Structure 1
């Protein structure tokens, strides 16, 4: 979606209360239930659009889909989603919303544990040698 110069920066000064269709999953996304003045991703699939350089400025010319790739915990213990643009690779961080799907958030959070960068058998060997434990009986 392209924004006119008149529309750019408007969401830095006021909240966006417009509903929209998610360009990833196609579901209707409404402002109601977000728990924040600024809705920046779909609560169902957690995807966003690359439309901002600074939050709310609508200055990015990319408009690519922003895929949720990870979560992190901010200093205040608030969770945030890391998005990566599928078109240009830009990374951004967005706080979670009150109505985000908990199962989707958790699946993103545990994804690295499901695919470790080494065989799990190596972890057992490392732990055994580090603790000096063995399953052998004397």
Structure 2
């Protein structure tokens, strides 16, 4: 059974370098600019996963109750994970994932 640990902290994105503020209404877990995240949780907010791979967005679906849901795939271990999009996520980036033109390399700070 999944448990949820509320952990709403700001961070600097390891992929694109964007300073991401706390979400304020839930737990922030991905970058607002490139939408990437780090594979650090076994259960939301627990920070107990040692993988540390980059979770790259691979799909976005519209859920009638949750709004946009981002599907991720870990670049290191291949595990898949879903997360609700945040209100301040870059909508152009969400659209690029939806229409399959997203390229994580476009966002990397050390290209």
- How many angstroms apart in 1 are the aligned matches of 2:7 and 2:77? 27
- Which residue in 2 is equivalent to 1:52? 41
CA contact (8 A) 2:66 2:84 kept: no
Pairing partner for 1:102 from 87, 91, 111: 91
SS at match of 1:104: helix
Q: TM-score, normalised by structure 1?
A: 0.65
- How many angstroms apart in 2 are the aligned matches of 1:35 and 1:110? 29
Larger Rg: 1
Q: Does 1:69 align with 2:61?
A: no
In the TM superposition, what whole-angstrom CA distance separates every residue of 1:8-53 from its partner, at most 9, and x where no partner exists? x9x70x332x32110000111111xx36320010000000000011
- Which residue in 1 is equivalent to 2:16? 25
- How many angstroms apart in 2 are the aligned matches of 1:73 and 1:88? 26
The number of equivalent residue pairs is 99
Unmatched 5+ stretches in structure 2: 102-111
Unmatched 5+ stretches in structure 1: 1-8, 113-138
C-alpha root-mean-square deviation of aligned residues, in Å? 1.9
